[in-house]
Amino acid sequence: MANSPKVATYDLKPEMSAWELVSLVSEEMNNDRADFVCLNFANPDMVGHTGIYDAIVKAVSTADSCLAEVIKVGLENDYQFVIIADHGNADRVVNPDGSPHTSHTTNPVPVIVISDEATELKDGKLADIAPTILDLLGIEQPSEMTGSSLIARS
What tens digit of pLDDT does each residue of 35-59 get? 899 999 999 999 999 999 999 999 9
CATH top-level class of 10-114: alpha beta
Could you give the CA distance from residue 121 to residue 151 in angstroms, rounded to a whole number?
A: 5
Write the pLDDT tens digit of every residue in 76-102.
999 999 999 888 888 899 999 999 999
At 34, the amino acid letter reads: A
Phi, psi of 113 (to 5 degrees): -115, 125
Q: Is the pLDDT of residue 9 over 80?
A: yes
Residue-wise pLDDT for 11-28, tens only, equals 999 999 999 999 999 999
Q: List every span in the chain annotated with CATH 3.40.720.10.
A: 10-114
Cα-based distances in Å from 85 to 30, 94, 108: 25, 20, 9
CB 119 within 8 A of CB 104: no
Q: How far apart are CA 126 and CA 94, in angstroms?
A: 26
- Cα gap 133→136, rounded to integer Å: 5
Which pTM was predicted? 0.90
Dihedral in degrees, nearest 10, Cα atoms 152, 122, 43, 87: -150
CB burial class (10 A; 0-12, 13-18, 19+) of residue 115?
A: middle
